[in-house]
């Protein structure tokens, strides 16, 4: 039986500084991250000892050296937040990793909380740059100079599931799901064929089917084997093909449907042969076809559109849940998935309130009609970028929210609550509450551990290998009777 889907996203944001001729993205990112004011001012290390990015799910260790920053660099590049999230500098981008969530509704709240955290830190950081300069941050996937940065999804899976089966059953799903997960993009990059507007910002940048790398020769299936949990029990599937989305229904469907498909793969519920003959080519072809009618070649001789491929998965999902219980969020995801596919098939423009690439296309086309611009106009490219601006007063997505022209999944209060509070049903709760209560005594943090500084005693690392422990139900009584860090550690080690 499939394990419960613990999930999260890691969003890399685009950053620039207006009027800064000596713009250095790394130092700007460091400034941005350190400007954020969380509920704790503790200087906490990120525990890189617990990470192994060179482990490959195909059963070997890749060549290379693991980079571990020194203590000062570690502190300046990393913040672990009281909501259980991680906010940090990743290469030349600010990145926000949500806390672990067990359902996609919580995931939407926490990903949108990340946007709010980035904006608040941007405001604080702008007070520290010269008057003529201004830091701008975009939740998008390309700097238009050939560089792409991603939104990575993470899903916990049963380690006994064959990785070969994951590759075979999951690639056709990932290639075809972009018809409802794409963020939309004017033009193309990375030597892809010319196009006025396409569905996905990321598809032009994928060049192989399966690999460990995430920046060079990007693969559709990433093989990183770093579970951040009990290695004997779990696999963390690191999905790197996602666009960074603004629209809440798009985020909701993207990760919600994916979690369902992965459970089905674990339970052997996908027996239909849907293998695509050339998935890298198909990924670009589907993205470049906003009519969603392009057929791609399958190995079995059939040709199907992306919508038809998704309908195959949907049909299998209906059969899967015919004999299983589904919670309310899962049922809602399936209903929305079916509705979106139906409307995509009839006319994608029906999704102008829900799906990012359609919302943005309609916004740009309305602008072009008013101004008599063409797709290759620089102003049109600026409208594309402005859709992803995280500033509430400037971002075009935020304008549509204020005008009530896009659908919502969560409320502003839900998002505000997620800025300061972790999910209650994963180990993120224990992590976040420890930061709130004992932050000054925390030495280091990783997803599966917390290390405490007990004054004259050695550093004490508490392992959290089970993501479904450390919940409010599990630890609230423990926290309530632990008035100090020493009491907490003594109570933990006594249990």
By C-alpha distance, which of 482, 419, 443 is closest to 84? 419
Q: In the numeric block, which tokens belong to residue 5?
A: 């889907």
CB-count exposure of residue 109 (10 Å: 0-12, 13-18, 19+): buried
Rounded Cα distance between 193 and 211, Å, is 24
Task: Please tell me the distance from the alpha carbon of residue 194 to that of residue 337, in angstroms, as a whole number.
Answer: 30
Residues 6+ apart with CB under 8 A from 95: 10, 11, 12, 13, 87, 88, 89
d(CA 474, CA 466): 12
Q: Bridge-partner residues for 185, per DSSP?
A: 198
Do residues 179 and 307 make contact, with C-beta atoms less than 8 angstroms apart?
Answer: yes
Q: How far apart are CA 7 and CA 329, in angstroms?
A: 14
> Which token pair is 493?
């080690």
Beta-bridge partners for 445: 46, 450
The answer to whether residues 375 and 368 touch, using CB atoms and an 8 Å cutoff, is: yes
Q: How far apart are CA 392 and CA 399, in angstroms?
A: 7
Nearest to 421 by CA among 410, 434, 432: 432
Long-range Cβ contact pairs of 479-488 (< 8 A, separation 24 or more): 479/430, 479/433, 479/437, 484/438, 485/438, 485/441, 485/452, 485/453, 485/454, 486/454, 486/455, 488/434, 488/438, 488/452
Tokens of 263: 């459970």
Give the separation between CA 476 and CA 445, rounded to whole angstroms.
20
DSSP labels, 327-388: -HHHHHHHHHHHHHHHHHHH-GGGGTTT-HHHHHHHHHHHHHHHHT--TT-HHHHHHHHHTT
| E strand map for 428-474 | 442-446, 449-452, 460-463
Token couple for 37: 């004011």
> What kind and span of H or E run contains 34?
helix 25-35
Residue positions annotated with a catalytic role: 90
Cβ atoms within 10 A of the Cβ of 373, count? Answer: 15
From residue 87, alpha-carbon distances to 11, 15, 34, 298, 365 in Å are 10, 15, 10, 41, 36
């Amino acid at each position: 039986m499939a394990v419960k889907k613990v999930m999260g996203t890691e969003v890399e944001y685009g950053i620039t500084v207006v009027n800064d001729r000596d713009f250095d993205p790394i130092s700007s990112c460091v400034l941005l991250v350190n400007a954020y004011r969380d509920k704790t001012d503790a200087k906490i290390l990120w525990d890189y000892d617990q990470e192994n990015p060179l482990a490959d799910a195909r059963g070997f260790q890749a060549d290379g050296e693991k980079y571990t920053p020194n203590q000062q660099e570690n502190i300046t590049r990393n913040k672990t937040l009281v909501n259980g999230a991680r906010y940090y500098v990743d290469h030349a981008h600010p990145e926000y990793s949500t806390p672990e969530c067990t359902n996609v509704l919580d995931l939407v709240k926490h990903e949108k909380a990340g946007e709010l955290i980035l904006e608040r830190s941007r405001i604080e950081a702008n007070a520290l740059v010269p008057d003529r300069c201004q830091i701008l941050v975009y939740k998008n996937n390309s700097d238009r100079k050939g560089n792409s940065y991603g939104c990575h999804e993470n899903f916990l899976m049963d380690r006994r599931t064959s990785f070969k089966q994951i590759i075979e059953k999951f690639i056709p799903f990932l290639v075809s799901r972009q018809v409802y997960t794409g963020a939309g993009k004017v033009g193309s990059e990375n030597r892809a064929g010319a196009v006025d507007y396409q569905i996905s910002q990321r598809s032009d940048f994928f060049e192989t089917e399966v690999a460990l790398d995430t920046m060079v020769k990007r693969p559709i299936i990433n093989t990183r084997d770093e579970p951040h949990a009990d290695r004997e029990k779990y696999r963390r599937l690191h999905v790197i093909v996602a666009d960074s989305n603004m629209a809440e229904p798009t985020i909701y469907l993207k990760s919600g449907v994916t979690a369902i498909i992965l459970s089905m793969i674990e339970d052997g519920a996908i027996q239909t042969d849907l293998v695509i003959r050339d998935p890298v080519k198909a990924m670009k072809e589907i993205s470049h076809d906003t009519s969603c009618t392009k057929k791609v070649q399958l190995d079995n001789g059939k040709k199907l559109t992306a919508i038809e491929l998704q309908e195959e998965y949907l049909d299998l999902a209906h059969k899967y849940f015919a004999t299983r219980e589904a919670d309310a969020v899962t049922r809602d995801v399936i209903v929305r998935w079916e509705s979106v596919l139906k409307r995509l098939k009839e006319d994608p423009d029906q999704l102008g309130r829900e799906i990012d690439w359609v919302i943005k296309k309609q916004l740009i086309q309305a602008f072009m009609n008013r101004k008599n611009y063409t797709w290759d106009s620089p102003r049109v490219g600026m409208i594309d970028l402005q859709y992803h601006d995280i500033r509430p007063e400037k971002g075009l997505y935020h304008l549509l929210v204020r005008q009530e022209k896009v659908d919502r999944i969560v409320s502003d209060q839900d998002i505000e609550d997620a800025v300061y509070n972790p999910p209650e049903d994963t180990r993120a709760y224990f992590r976040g509450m420890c930061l709130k209560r004992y932050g000054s005594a925390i030495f280091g943090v990783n997803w599966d551990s917390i290390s405490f500084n007990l004054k004259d005693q050695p550093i004490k690392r508490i392992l959290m290998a089970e993501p479904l422990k450390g919940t409010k139900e599990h630890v609230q009584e423990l926290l309530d009777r632990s008035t100090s860090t020493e009491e907490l550690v003594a109570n933990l080690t006594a249990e």
